[in-house]
Chains A and B, each alone.
Chain A
Amino acid sequence: MSRAHDHLIERLERILGPGGVFHRPADLLVYEYDGSVEGAVDTAAPVAVALPTTTEQVAAIVRLANEFDLPVTPRGAGTGLSGGAVAQRGGIVVALTRMDRILEIDPEDRTALVEPGVINLELSEATIPGGHFFAPDPSSQKACTVGGNVAENSGGPHCLKYGVTTNHVLGLEVVLPDGRVVWTGGRAGHAPGYDLTGALVGSEGMLGIVTKALVRLTPNPEATLVELAAFPDVESASLAVSRIIAAGIVPAALELMDNLTIQAVEPAYHAGYPMDAGAVLLAELDGIAEDVRAEGEDVAVLCRETGATSVRVASEKPERDLLWKGRKMALAAMGRLTPNYYLHDTVVPRTKLPAALRRVAEVATEYDLPIANVLHAGDGNLHPLILFDRRQPGAVERVLHASHELLHSCVELGGALSGEHGIGTEKRAALTLVFSADDLAAMAGIKNSFDPKSCFNPEKLFPAGYRCGEVRALRAQALAQKLGIYAM
């Protein structure tokens, strides 16, 4: 250990006490990953991990990092899927897991003030008895933190009706990259001036560390109904999706899973998904009891018309939860089918869903790789999961090529990367597929004004080789892309 290193640790310990700093190699080893897929994101260990309990401590850590010229990487629960919490250039990881208090719940104002380490689902569990819940519900909600949700602008099955995280954040307390502590937004909403809260939500930990969040709570619906419809194939299921939306029904959630996914979850959760179905559609309706009942009937009819072989209706919570469990755990249950998987996160116009799914099937055959499909169908959000075993020679290359095909196809269909799971390091190379160099330069301008030293969560979001202000690199990439020499 070098002197500078010892000095850094000593200073950190002065801020946090010895229990709040980790720096021995074995301790750092477990901070080198997040929830992202092996192979898609390189692991990287920090020099030190700090576990603050107050905003003041966070600010002091950031100032110290500035003094030592070290990068800072914020971290929540580490469930991110794009490598956002991995310290690609070492430096200090600031893990917010010990700042996990719900500071205030205001049922009248329908707001909650929380520290960033509060677990998403536990916030809802605390507010549901008072008549409200926190609407953003990423499938990882049992584990992920509100800070992580804010940084990734996370969505979930219920975004279809309730919107993503940004629609539920009113204000933020943030430690800026220079160590200043500021508040953005507030209870009043519609504050004059730039919408800094909006800029910070979805900023992937690159503009500051969220130390408090004032979030909006949503009233519990009067009634909720979940329907599970089984279809012979994904096409008929996606047709049902279009019909439901076209009928003017806005389900709270509308999720599609194909047979391969059913094979992974059903044995694990016995949620009652028919193992022989080509696809299942999970629709949740909520609102006023009468409307819910009527819409539920409409959805069932539409499903049958488009080929559903069975429709199961669950109105009681335990049964609804069970049906949902199969869906929410789908991604994490893939380990049952395969040692490795590569997850994609793309969005296409809803009407293009059947075409997109056909394309996915073609790619699967072409590259001889099983691909499971889980979709936030209502939003046209696809999550094709390529299953593989990295120990097989050539498997990784095949997966990368197949991925490239998939992304291209979606863009061709008028779609985009969804960004629901963030860009992180994982997809930054692909960002040029959807944004022009000028688009990216505009974003870089914001980054630059928050973090001129580019020390906050470096190597994320912007395509590789890029340094703050250097738009030239981006131009070169855009050109390469135009000429078709882009490589992932």
Chain B
Amino acid sequence: MAVAYETDLAKLGTLTGYSGPDQPDDDLLRACVHCGMCLPSCPTYRLTGQEMSSPRGRLWLMRGVADGRLDLLDPIFDEQMYQCLNCRACEAVCPSGVHYGPLVEAARSQLERHRPRPVWQRVLRRVALGGVFGDQRVFRAVVGGLRLYQRSGLAALVRRTGVLKPLKLAETERMMPPVAARFLRPGAERWTPSSPARAVRLFNGCVMGTVFADTNRAAGRVLAHNGAAVDVPVGQQCCGALHVHAGMMDEARALAKTNIAAFEAAPDGEIAVTAAGCGAALKEYGFLLKDDPAWAERARAFADRVRDVTELLADRPLAVPTQAVDRIVTYQEPCHLAHAQRITAQPRAILDAIPGLTLVEMRESSLCCGSAGIYNLIRREMAEELGDRKARHVLETPATAVVTANPGCAMQLRASLARNGSAASVVHVVEVLDEAYGGSAAWPPEGGREPGGSRPQRP
């Protein structure tokens, strides 16, 4: 044969393997029987048709490192661990129940621990994820700056001059919806029906509590409309999802502990989440802190209280919406709702209950839209391709609005729809329901009490 085999990878001993904390769990890895059933559900495999960009391929690579057949620092390993959107579609369809999410997160954490990165990248990660998302005050200040930019006319000016193009920021700017006029601050607002049947604690979230603060308010209102006394406990921070996705486990754990403590101070009632990405991360606190004896039990107890807002609403008979919302909508499943939390029926059930509303399903509604946390900021090409595919599917329907349940998806959808010439708007499930209940104009409902200033106050 003219060409020799060049595939002997067993250079045992000379390769960097996993070490230290947060290694991909060997038993979890070996649960994959490489049947391939997950392949068609994986967005990156759908776009590329190549095995290394598939869940099965990525799991095999992770195993390759564990078995000493592949170097942890091999650029292809790095590329694949980060090309993955962590959308968890593979996990939802895997017949053998492979827990893909925790595995890829552990692999990334190993990369972050062992891989030399250029200094600027390290600094940027620290500042962006540690500094901004790590502290709600800083985050609010940054978004406040953005709001000022949007409102001052500067935005229009900047867009006209096109200075963002060479900086590759045009798309990022296009994704930004108008920032809410007032941020939602923990402790500042609450929603109480006349005779509350139970307590619900709202998890505020970074982006939801600022950019989409009005969506959170809508959530407060609809939950109250359904009998819950809703408040936003003080002391809560970012959920840490972005940190987990980026393999920054220590930072994520610190945030988790802060949140657990904050919600322990508000001990009764379920924790409602309006961002699917946050909800998935919060529900996994038990796993995140499982090796920390002081926190493991508390984390599990916390996670048990977490519910997506649609899940919480659909748990009990829904207060009947009275106002017709005459609109045709389609539903985009947030990956972290459909795949990570397996919640697909509840949002649709809520939409079905709204008079006047018609839900038309688009094709591939559960395929990732390309948002995937901050993926769309760091891997623009793949993200845009997925966004365009999504926009095409929306355009095939007569829908004038896309309903979703996650801020990342909302922003990515806005940008993709605009780029593809669609005028469809993007709304959260609770916003549509809120409208069907009469919206903010109808709040507080007749006979509603206002204990200790329950009426939303200005911060």
Contacts and interface: CB of A to CB of B under 8 A. Distances in A.
Interface of A: 1-2, 4-5, 8, 22-35, 37-38, 45-47, 51, 68-70, 77-79, 90, 95, 97-98, 100, 117, 119, 122, 140, 142-144, 268, 329, 331-336, 339, 341
A341 to B, nearest CB: 7
Contact of A333 (B4, B52, B70, B95): B95
18 contacts: A4-B3, A27-B52, A32-B7, A47-B5, A70-B1, A70-B2, A97-B50, A117-B49, A142-B93, A143-B36, A143-B39, A329-B95, A332-B96, A335-B32, A335-B95, A336-B97, A339-B30, A339-B31
Given A30-B61, A47-B7, A78 B51 contact: yes
A100 B49 contact: yes
B32 A77 contact: no
B64 A95 contact: no
B9 interface: yes
Contacts of B27: 339
A29 B9 contact: yes
Nearest to B4: A2
Contacts of A70: 1-3
B32 A26 contact: no
B6 A26 contact: no
Contact of B50 (A4, A22, A68): A22
The secondary-structure label for the interface of chain B is loop
Contacts of B37: 79, 140, 142-143, 329, 332
Contacts of B50: 22, 51, 95, 97
Given A140-B36, A331-B35, A29 B70 contact: yes
B96 A78 contact: no
Interface string B6-47: 110100000000000000000100111111111110000000
A332 B39 contact: no
Contacts of B49: 51, 95, 97-98, 100, 117
B6 A25 contact: yes
Nearest to B94: A332
A31 B61 CA distance: 11
B57 interface: yes
Contact of B34 (A4, A35, A46, A47): A35
A37 B77 CA distance: 24
A42 to B, nearest CB: 13
B108 to A, nearest CB: 17
The 6 closest A-B pairs by CB, nearest first: A335-B96, A332-B95, A97-B49, A26-B76, A45-B7, A30-B57
Contacts of B74: 26
A441 B198 CA distance: 78
Contact of B60 (A30, A37, A97): A30
A47 B36 contact: no
Interface of B: 1-7, 9, 27, 30-40, 49-52, 54, 56-57, 60-61, 64, 69-70, 74, 76-77, 93-98
B9 to A, nearest CB: 5
Contact of A77 (B1, B36, B98): B36
A78 B32 CA distance: 14
A35 B30 contact: no
Contacts of A119: 40
A96 to B, nearest CB: 9
Contacts of A140: 35-37
B61 to A, nearest CB: 7
B35 A90 contact: no
B5 A332 contact: no
A335 B70 contact: no
Contacts of A143: 35-40
Nearest to B69: A29
A95 B33 contact: no
Contacts of B54: 30
A27 B76 contact: yes
B422 to A, nearest CB: 24
A5 B96 contact: no
Given A28-B7, A268-B97, A95 B1 contact: no
Contacts of A2: 3-4, 6
A212 B138 CA distance: 58
B97 A47 contact: no
A90 B7 contact: yes
Contacts of B96: 332-336
A27 B77 CA distance: 9
Contacts of B5: 45, 47, 90
B80 to A, nearest CB: 8
Contacts of A22: 50, 52
Contact of A8 (B3, B9, B33, B70): B3
Which among B7, B33, B49, B51 has the greatest number of chain A C-beta atoms within 10 A? Answer: B51
A332 B96 CA distance: 6
Contacts of A117: 49
Nearest to B76: A26
B3 A335 contact: no
A341 B36 CA distance: 16
Contacts of A100: 49
B72 to A, nearest CB: 11
A68 B2 CA distance: 6
A341 B31 CA distance: 11
A5 B36 contact: no
Contacts of B57: 30
Q: In this complex, which of A2, A25, A333 has the most chain B Cβ atoms within 10 angstroms of its Cβ?
A: A25
A375 B123 CA distance: 59
Contacts of A34: 34, 36
A38 B32 CA distance: 11
A332 B2 contact: no
Given A70-B3, A336-B96, 17 more contacts: A5-B3, A25-B6, A29-B70, A30-B51, A34-B34, A35-B34, A37-B33, A47-B6, A95-B49, A97-B49, A100-B49, A117-B49, A119-B40, A140-B36, A332-B33, A333-B97, A339-B30
B7 A335 contact: no
Nearest to A8: B3
Contacts of A335: 31-33, 95-98
Nearest to A125: B363
Contacts of B7: 25, 28, 32, 45-47, 90
Contact of B51 (A37, A95, A331, A332): A95
A331 B64 CA distance: 25
Contacts of B98: 335
B6 A268 contact: no
Nearest to B70: A26
B375 to A, nearest CB: 21
Which of the listed residues B9, B31, B33, B61 has the most CB atoms from chain A within 10 Å of its own CB? B33
A122 B46 CA distance: 13
Nearest to B30: A339
A46 B4 CA distance: 10
Contacts of B64: 26, 29
Contacts of B3: 2, 4-5, 8, 47, 68, 70
Contacts of B52: 22, 26-27, 30
A126 B360 CA distance: 18
B243 to A, nearest CB: 27
Given A30-B52, A51-B50, A336-B96, A77 B39 contact: yes
Nearest to B65: A26
Contacts of A69: 1-2
Contacts of B93: 142
Nearest to B8: A25
A163 B77 CA distance: 43
A143 B40 CA distance: 6
A25 B11 CA distance: 12
Nearest to A9: B3
B60 A29 contact: yes
Contacts of A24: 76
Contacts of A25: 6-7, 9, 70
Nearest to A26: B76
A453 B30 CA distance: 39
A27 B69 CA distance: 12
Contacts of A268: 95, 97
